[in-house]
Chains A and B, each alone.
Chain A
């Protein structure tokens, strides 16, 4: 839906809504390069200074190929504190059930809007995706659901105060890993590829154009072919105790850019010129 204000109510709506209607991104196919020239679908939120996760969400939202027909499914964590401020329908249900919720949602929308693409995009943290929700994440891939899963990998449970997750690197000392994490970071990229994802990518907000390309590819492939996965490295200044001003440098230093696509996905991406 491209939002339009009822006649006569234009002047009573708060300014952020008026701007959204006059100058929002709906139906305009805007890109990250256009940031700063239009009203973004994200309002002020309470995440920490130097939060690479919130920057990632900002970039994801700006990369959506069809924000007017996208529904985001989040989960408990830092992301869920930001999500209420998105001008895109989004769901918070429980911690970890996001890919199951997204499966049901996508199927419902296919039934209700058979002639329209309604993009269902999961945006969840590493704890939600790779730990508590791993079975639901993987099974949505096994089932070949037409959804995109984006993991915001800040290598720990940030919203609960900085505990180790399975995405934390080996040896790192965090809460609940008082002697340092005893095993390596879970290989979600490979898990996604082997579980049936047609498109898998790893990136970070330090490479915004690349992030945009990958998010767009993931969503377009999910529409036409099957599940897709994007893993975004976004370190947490608060719990890893570095200065907010260092976030981008750290992100850049440690980012790993990877991409896998099935032959079907490759053909589609080439055909679409993405």
Chain B
């Protein structure tokens, strides 16, 4: 194994010196995994994720991980990291669009089993017809699995969020999986300056003794233990036990808010919150919206931007407060269903919310498309 120094998570995330590198998103992922002191990586190829897990394989070969292999398919990969996490290991895996769907049964299973797995989702469109291009419709499906969901705008955020994800996921009061999502190609294959922490400093190892559920190693009591027990009787209390279990998983996500505030700073980033027209966006749509808002402001339109970084737990309170005053809210998205618009609409006066513009199937979102919607709105409000 590579000789490295274990450092305090808060130091690593906030204070450690940073070196500038010119990286694509997938390279930033491997750089994060290198510093996360991951025990086991399990991979399966799919565009646009593959390169990230190639690179994780490379750092395994260099001695940064203790084990790594290519699984039979995404369901097998996600099941293997579950088994490893139940055995007390820190794990990493990643996938994209169709792979997410192939593996989907595991995501609520991870959350229900209280496993602090970190998984990167390099979002892409799903069949049919086949596309390998950027489209983040899968986030809309992942939102209700019980996992925490972060959405990175660029390679820098992808790097930071992955490290933050491990620290937050493994808090004993949280201890649920985190999906760190980034829009395929726009982030995974775009080269940008990424400031990374020193290569020889890493997070402390995962401590399974603090897990809210017994680790499956035959060293942790009770020995008469199944992960995870189900109550098979048909009566009120059996159903109530399952309902309480589900509530506890959601409660764990609620508890993560405090740790998100500590390690991510905030679930949102706001520019000009008192604007008449407020844009709400996440991922690369936020980057495009930022340009559009700047141009709108130059044209004399009172526009602002809320970038949503954390999709689960959704920043309810912040969004509710921010949506009170603007006359109109615009939600540009890289998917056809408008999952972010749905989230915003359910937390405010929905008549103010204009879901769009939306592009998908690989289409880019030129700032002009957003700007033209802002201008249309400015005319009618």
A–B contact at 8 Å CB threshold (below)? yes
Which residues of A have CB within 8 Å of B218? 1, 68-71, 88-89, 118
A91 touches B39 (CB 8 A): no
B226 touches A83 (CB 8 A): yes
Size category of the binding interface on chain B: 35 or more
How far is A84 from B72 in the complex, measured between Cα atoms in Å? 29
Which residues of B have CB within 8 Å of A105? 83-84, 86-87, 216
Q: Does A257 contact B (CB under 8 A)?
A: no
A92 touches B88 (CB 8 A): no
Which residues of A have CB within 8 Å of B39? 108, 111
Interchain nearest-CB distance for B26 vs A (Å)? 23
Find B83's partner among A81, A93, A135 (CB 8 Å cutoff).
A93
Which residues of B have CB within 8 Å of A135? 72-73, 76
Which residues of A have CB within 8 Å of B79? 93-94, 97, 100-101, 104, 136
B75 touches A118 (CB 8 A): no
Which residues of A have CB within 8 Å of B85? 104, 108
Q: Does B265 contact A (CB under 8 A)?
A: no
Given contacts A3-B221, A88-B223, A118-B217, contact A108 B76 (CB under 8 A): no
Q: Does A268 contact B (CB under 8 A)?
A: no
Which residues of B have CB within 8 Å of A7? none
How far is A81 from B231 in the complex, measured between Cα atoms in Å? 9
How far is A69 from B221 in the complex, measured between Cα atoms in Å? 13
Q: Does A219 contact B (CB under 8 A)?
A: no
How far is A103 from B214 in the complex, measured between Cα atoms in Å? 19
How far is A97 from B91 in the complex, measured between Cα atoms in Å? 17
How far is A111 from B1 in the complex, measured between Cα atoms in Å? 12
Given contacts A69-B218, A108-B40, contact A100 B228 (CB under 8 A): no
* Residues of A that sit less than 8 Å from B by CB: 1, 3, 17, 20, 43, 46, 68-71, 73-74, 80-81, 83-94, 97, 100-113, 118, 135-136, 139, 143
Pairs A–B under 8 Å by Cβ, sample size 14: A1-B219, A1-B221, A1-B223, A43-B224, A84-B229, A89-B225, A92-B227, A94-B79, A94-B106, A97-B75, A104-B42, A108-B40, A110-B67, A135-B73
Contacts beyond the supplied A1-B223, A88-B223, A136-B76: 19 A-B pairs with Cβ under 8 Å: A1-B218, A84-B226, A84-B229, A84-B230, A89-B214, A91-B86, A92-B227, A93-B109, A93-B227, A97-B76, A97-B82, A97-B106, A101-B86, A104-B42, A104-B83, A104-B85, A108-B40, A108-B83, A135-B72
